[in-house]
Amino acid sequence: MARTTSWTLSALAAAALGGCGLHVPEIQENPFASESDRAAFIQSIVRNVRCEVQDAVVRLYADNADIDPENRNLRWFDDWAAQISLTLTTGEKTSLNPGINLLPPSPPSSVFNLNLTATGSAEAQRVDKIGSFFTVAELKRYGACRAEDRNRGPFMLQSDLKLFDWLQATMISINLRDAPAPANAGGPFKSNVLSHQVKFVVVSAGTANPGWILATSTINVNQAVPFLTASRDRTQDLTITFGPLDPAWKEYVIDPRTNRVAKDPRTGRPLMRDAALAPAAASAAVSADIGNAVTNGIRNGLRP
């Protein structure tokens, strides 16, 4: 009965750990989530990130009104925009390290000992990127997000990302003239950049190390390396870059109801919107993405 129980527990541990690295990892922690649940989960992440930026901008102007009711000291910020870059990296790995020590029969006719070991591993990784662009004027027009649009669940990017704290501190420095305020988007300060980056790295791992003692051999007994090891790594990178608009880049506004170019109701002309940051701010956003990719690649390469 004891031997049966030992084999059963070993099989359950192997089944729980052994799936990592053999298929594309799921972003959700729940491996049994339906396709609609997974889609809703991603949507909630994207919405929460947008609401974080949207609420920070709206609150910045609202709180500044106590100092400057007409927000004259933030007029330069009206011509800025935010580039949002979200990268979700999920990796799973399984390592199998069995060991067998063959022993002579008892009583032994000769001194003989044969130790056999093997190693195998499987690893899978997925990288999902989402980018979005909003002008400050658009964020102000949208207003604050509804409370029900904010997802305060266990997922790390569903929490307060401290963006408002950073914006508020920066604007105080500018108001105190500790940092220069850009006069206009085309002026000499068009290279000004405000960037906020958040990174979460979570690693979970488990091991199973069953052992058997038989008449002529021992299997995985007192092995320094666990018989079965599995790990799951989640890295979430969020970079929010504020900078002046590049007047050279425009795009048509698409009406989501008709999926066609929206038109100005007064003139009938196609509506256009700004679509890119000024070169310096755009370069800062791209550099942050490259830095994240390099850092994650090094981390995943060094991690056992």
Structural domain count, the chain: 1
Residue 277 within a domain: no
pLDDT for residue 13: 45
In a domain, 253, yes or no: no
Q: Which domain holds residue 184?
A: 2-244
pLDDT digit of tens for each residue in the chain (304 aa)? 444 444 444 444 444 445 566 788 888 777 778 888 888 888 888 888 899 899 999 999 998 888 888 888 888 888 899 999 998 888 888 888 887 777 776 655 556 677 777 788 888 888 889 999 999 999 999 999 888 777 665 555 666 788 999 988 888 777 767 666 665 555 544 557 888 988 888 888 888 777 777 777 777 766 677 878 888 888 888 999 998 888 888 888 888 888 889 888 888 899 888 888 888 888 888 888 888 888 877 776 655 5
In a domain, 290, yes or no: no
Residue 208: per-residue pLDDT:
79
Alpha helices, DSSP H only, in the chain?
2-17, 35-64, 75-78, 136-142, 163-175, 279-302
- CB-CB neighbours of 104 under 10 Å: 13
In a domain, residue 267? The reply is: no
**Inter-residue contact 53 to 139 (CB < 8 Å):** yes
pTM for the whole thing? 0.76
The answer to whether the beta carbons of residues 196 and 163 sit under 8 Å apart is yes
* Residue 295 domain-assigned (yes or no): no
Q: Please give the Cα distance from 264 to 268 (Å, whole number).
A: 5
Task: State whether residue 226 is helix, strand or coil.
Answer: coil
Strand order, beta sheet including 114-117: 114-117, 99-102, 217-219, 212-213
What pLDDT score does 14 carry?
A: 45
Q: Which amino acid is at 181?
A: A
Beta bridge partners of residue 87, listed in sequence order: 129, 237
Residue 265 lies in a domain: no
Q: According to the model, what pLDDT value does residue 59 have?
A: 93
Q: Collapsing DSSP states into helix, strand and coil, what is residue 130?
A: strand
Residues 6+ apart with CB under 8 A from 213: 219, 221
User: Largest alpha-carbon pair distance within the chain?
Assistant: 103
- Partnered with residue 120 across adjacent β-strands are 96
**Could you tell me whether strands 260-261 and 272-274 are parallel, antiparallel, or unpaired per DSSP bridges?**
unpaired
pLDDT at residue 189 in the model: 47
The pLDDT score that the predictor gives to residue 103 is 73
Number of helices followed by number of strands (H, E) in the chain: 6, 12
**E-strand spans in 209-259?**
212-213, 217-219, 228-244, 250-252, 254-255
Q: Tell me whether residue 278 is in a domain.
A: no
DSSP 8-state class, residue 23:
S
CA gap 204, 157 in Å, rounded: 18
Is 223 domain-assigned?
yes
Inter-residue contact 277 to 244 (CB < 8 Å): yes
Give the pLDDT score at 106: 61
Distance CA 113, CA 111 (A): 7
